[in-house]
Amino acid sequence: MFELKDKVALITGANGGLGDKIARTLHAQGAALALTDCRTNNMEKLKSELGSNVEFFVADLTNADSITQLVKDVEEKFGRIDILVNNAGLTKDNLFIRMSDEDWQLVLDVNLTAGFKLAKAAVRGMMKRRFGRIIGIASVVGVTGNAGQANYSASKAGMIAMNKCLAQEVGSRGITVNSIAPGFIRTPMTDVLPDDVKAALLAKIPEAKLGEAQDIANVVAFLASDEAQYITGQTININGGMAMI
């Protein structure tokens, strides 16, 4: 089930906890990995632990030329891109009235525009081969909104809408395009939250626990597989019931 042997996956934001788990899960299913991030501090370790069929590439996703070069470099190294996981993202939270134009634009550039440019570049080869999987890591706040996160919420809502449009355009070419909208996922950042803040979060979640990065990675592996060939234009919400959408 969910075998990805002979498939090449490009994963952005691979240096983070979620990207790391997605990379390990896809590799375990047989995929060759092209990992990218603007930082390299964990990439060498990840590559050495996974072993064969793994390469990492440093890319600045705020720079259009860097994105174009990234896709060229990956295709030159591996011959193609079968699976694109648009996972890279950042936050610059502030109340709407206090949010700077610079913080608004940076979050949109990384979380949305970079995904557009990557998908546009990668989908050309997918269309020729009549196979492809494009998976965007969105967020529950892209559907519900969240005070203090107008830029982040807008970027994730934009990703969901963008992927639905692309899914309609390329579905006849054997390419599926879907989004995953995580809720609150346990990370080193949530581990250090005060107990009262954690309790307030958990009170909103029927399952009464935070999600794990593996919960997200499992669905990425499913959507990338042949078993998900008839699923496209969808948003898979993984939030423990916090938002029943």
The CATH number that applies at residue 176 is 3.40.50.720
pLDDT 10s digit of each residue in the chain, 245 long? 899 999 999 999 998 889 999 999 999 999 999 999 887 777 888 888 998 899 999 999 999 999 999 999 999 999 999 999 999 999 999 999 999 999 999 999 999 999 999 999 999 999 999 999 999 999 999 999 999 999 999 999 999 999 999 999 999 999 999 999 999 999 876 777 788 888 988 999 999 999 999 999 999 999 999 999 999 999 999 999 999 98
In 3D space, the residue among 144, 140, 143, 150 whose CA is nearest the CA of residue 94 turns out to be: 150
- Region of residue 145 (left: phi > 0; alpha: psi -120 to 50; beta: else): left
In 3D space, the residue among 90, 132, 97, 133 whose CA is nearest the CA of residue 112 turns out to be: 90
Say if 223 falls within a structural domain: yes
Say if 37 falls within a structural domain: yes
Q: Based on the structure, what is the number of domains in the chain?
A: 1
- Region of residue 2 (left: phi > 0; alpha: psi -120 to 50; beta: else): left
Say if 243 falls within a structural domain: no
Say which of 57, 131, 152, 184 is annotated catalytic: 152
The verdict on whether 230 is a catalytic residue reads no
217: containing domain: 8-238
pTM: 0.96
Rounded Cα distance, 141 and 204, in Å:
14
Say if 1 falls within a structural domain: no
Rounded Cα distance, 132 and 126, in Å:
5
Give the sign of the dihedral formed by CA 232, CA 90, CA 100, CA 142: positive
Say if 185 falls within a structural domain: yes
